[in-house]
A and B are shown apart, each in its own frame.
Chain A
Amino acid sequence: MGRLLVRRLVATLPVLVLVTTGVFALLHLTPGDPIDAMMAESVDASVKEALRRELGLDRPIPVQYLAWVRRALRGDLGRSIRNREPVVEDVGRRLRPTLQLAGLALAVALALAVPIGLVSAARRNTVVDGAGTAFALVGICMPNFLIALLLIFVFGVRLRWLPISGYTDPFEEPLAGLRSLALPALTLGLAFAAVIARTLRSSLIEALAEDYVRTARAKGLSEGHVLAGHALRNGLIPVVTVLGLQLGALIGGAVITEYVFALPGVGRLVVDAVFARDYPLVQGVVLLIALGYVATNLVVDLLYGWLDPRIRYR
């Protein structure tokens, strides 16, 4: 276990190097300049030049990259060009709502998907299964922003049950916080639930055809017991894979959902930073997203072993 961890962590290094060099190169190759973007109204070229020098933007790109890596290794991701705040602080502040949203969306998704998937598999090819499939299709086909706007219209404007935009930290004000995250979590959760429900259904159907299920039934176990106690755990492996990938993406921020609901998350941060050509900020966030992916995938791999003891890591 310990050895596995170390090995996996070492293996992430090339990934991180590749991602950061790639982003660094792409950013600097993209037309546009942070100083121009920041001081669009100023005609004073000497002021702009001085700023470029001060920020080290006049140096060759490889030199800038190495300087960035050297500082990043010491935990210093530099300062944002636009608002001159430390990137670590900026990202840290934005990570909170993003993680909370990801967690809540996951909870919504599981709460919906597991029962739907179970029932669909158990009552295959019935009306219930058809309804589950229809739900999943709608969830997968409807773009996020459309679900978001519909939810806003129904629950925000018409019924006025929930706030439309903005963020309150649930750890500070639990009720207001959960209310502020309800619609975005539902938006993400619905699409997420659809994918999980479909995956769960098909893997359960497969599991239900296995010999051990027949054995369990032959032992006289109730159908519910067979499903929940025997088939479910085996059917979860593909679900966990899907979950891991989607959660990784969520840590990078659900850009559109955060944008629509005015949530101050990582996704909005990185988009704004790209538009402002705020190099250090983009670099910092991308590094974080890459780490997020690596971490969730590691957790997923560990979960495999727990779910199915036949899977062993050496």
Chain B
Amino acid sequence: MESTQPNGTPRAVSRRAFLRASAAVSAGLAAAGGRALPRAHAQGAPRRGGTLRVGFYIEAATMDPHLSGSKIDRQVYHNLYEPLFVLDVKLGLKPGLAESWQQPDPRGIVLRLRRGVKFHDGTEFNAEAARFNFERMRTDPRSVRKGEVASIDTVEVVDPYTIKLHLKRPDAALLAALTDRAGMMVSPRVVQERGPDLERNARGAGTGPFQFVEWVKDDHILLRRNDGYWNKQGGPYLDQIRYRPIPDDTVKLASLQSGEIDVMDYVQPRDVAAVKADRNLVEVDVPSLASFGYMLNHTRPPFNNRALRQAVASALDVEQIVKAVWLGVGVPSNGPIPPSSWAYDASIRPIRRDLARAKAKLAEGGQPNGFSFTVTTNNIPINVQEAEVMQAQLAEAGITMRIKLVDSAALLSDGNGRNFEMITYQWSGRPDPDGNTYQFFRTTPGVSLNWSGISNARLDALLDRSREVADRTERRKIFGEITRILHDELPMIFIVHPIEPKAFSPRVQGYEPVPDGMMRFKDVWLK
């Protein structure tokens, strides 16, 4: 759960534009809604040169995409490495290092790879290299990618520029997973020659528009333009990108205002109004894939009682929480799938506050006079505020909520050990709805991300089905049905789909916000 690190919450297009975008998508007009996501002030002809200075909230963890478990790493990777497929601003799949794909049968995917692509070390990207990468993700003892490529049985090299993935089971979510770290191709020669040092030094390792120069720990990561980049359309224009960790949000904003950095990765909701009002800054709201809420523990009292779960859900006012705590920098959540997704169903409303229903459900659950429970949440300001607002709302229904504040490491161990009654869950989200649903709500034995312990046969069947069906309209229907079951069974109370606001100096041109929050700088230039 990368996003539960302090200040690591992902969010950024105005709320109105965001809602408009989601409305367009939900109406099935995805193709028509192109205006909703503004380009950051593209004006004039792009100019080459300059160093883009990016401020980050935390130091990167590793330069090896197959070993990375932290969101911040991905920001760098999307300029340094390239995935087989690329997300467009509407979360559609565009060809990346794979030019096209075919699915001759549900258990086989044929990928035609791009020709003439070279890694930064001069070696060629081809079918053997792709196979090497998949094998590494599947078998390296330290690989964090195993789960994402688990459905792949074998990888066959068909010809020098074609591979075929043989699957153990149909997996409709696999291609979307190949738009991020699981699809990123690393130079086999670098992996073999450099060994573990790749984690600190990615020189020559990628194929992306920028190549690695140096990483001075705790100070900066420097990339420079790859002049041999295969795609001759548009950028890269920038000479260099320099990433700097600035942990304090206020100081990061001050650094942007004073011109020390040109981009900041995330603006806290409390600062959004000030940034929008500042004529010397450009704010871009990027819709995210994230889903924030609270897991309820189905395996022990009080929330092994469905009526009590429903009582809590009916006593909460999600709209008010998003307005008061998130200051409107997010959308009230109706379920695990964010409005930026093609699978979002706007006809499903967030659960409404209904105190009469809450009382009725309390009685039904055998606690007509209310009950008390403990929520475990992260000790960072916005989480604490949210918990306090919820506490007040629940009190009106006669439900007492105690707040237990912990740091993220303790939170994870409480969650993995099912040692909680209610616990915060902030998921940064995945482009395919599968990544926001299956692993959380499917019956799984042992330790898993299904912290609530929900086990529902109908839900399981629908989740399995969602992986087998390839057709989007059909899948969207399935996810709608899943969401309705979740409203009733409540393994999780859904609060907000946060927006991820980013701020730029007006010099920065040509930034396209993709809803995964990753900043791709290929076509960005400095005025």
Contact = CB atoms under 8 A, between A and B. Distances in A.
Interface string A150-173: 001100110010011111000000
A164 B251 contact: yes
A211 interface: no
A149 B259 CA distance: 17
A142 interface: no
B61 interface: yes
Contact of A85 (B200, B258, B408, B413): B200
B69 A40 contact: yes
A261 B218 CA distance: 12
A33 interface: yes
B251 to A, nearest CB: 5
Contacts of A261: 251
* Most interface-central of A41, A47, A84 (chain B CB within 10 A): A41
Contact of A164 (B144, B258, B407): B258
A276 interface: yes
A269 B247 CA distance: 12
Contact of A260 (B4, B251, B407): B251
A83 B62 contact: yes
Contacts of B244: 165-166, 262
B2 A94 contact: no
B250 A149 contact: yes
Contacts of B141: 47, 50, 54
Interface stretch (B40-48, B287-295, B443-451): B443-451
A166 B6 contact: no
A94 B254 contact: no
Given A31-B406, A37-B412, A152 B254 contact: yes
The secondary structure that dominates the B interface is loop
Contacts of A40: 1-2, 4, 69, 412
Contacts, number: 128
B146 A165 contact: no
Contacts of B414: 31
Contacts of A268: 218, 247
A135 interface: no
Interface in A1-54: 30-34, 36-45, 47-48, 50-51, 54
B6 A275 contact: yes
Nearest to B445: A45
A277 interface: yes
A36 B250 contact: no
B75 to A, nearest CB: 16
Interface residues of B, number: 50
A277 B62 CA distance: 17
Given A42-B144, A261-B251, A160 B412 contact: no
A264 interface: yes
A42 B59 CA distance: 21
A34 B416 CA distance: 13
A36 B412 contact: yes
A42 B412 contact: no
A230 interface: no
Interface string B412-446: 11101000000000000000000000010000101
A156 B260 CA distance: 10
Contact of B69 (A42, A85, A260): A42
A299 to B, nearest CB: 28
B69 A167 contact: no
Contacts of A160: 258-259
Contacts of A157: 254, 257-258
Interface in A231-286: 259-262, 264, 268-269, 272, 275-277
A164 B255 contact: yes
Interface string B1-12: 110111000000
A73 to B, nearest CB: 26
A44 B413 CA distance: 15
Nearest to B143: A47
B82 to A, nearest CB: 21
18 contacts: A31-B406, A33-B412, A36-B413, A36-B416, A38-B69, A41-B2, A47-B142, A83-B200, A90-B217, A149-B250, A149-B251, A164-B255, A165-B244, A165-B248, A167-B219, A262-B245, A264-B217, A268-B247
Interface of A: 30-34, 36-45, 47-48, 50-51, 54, 82-85, 90, 93-94, 149, 152-153, 156-157, 160, 163-167, 259-262, 264, 268-269, 272, 275-277
Which 10 interchain pairs have the tightest Cβ spacing? A32-B409, A264-B218, A31-B410, A37-B409, A32-B410, A36-B412, A40-B1, A262-B246, A45-B447, A277-B409
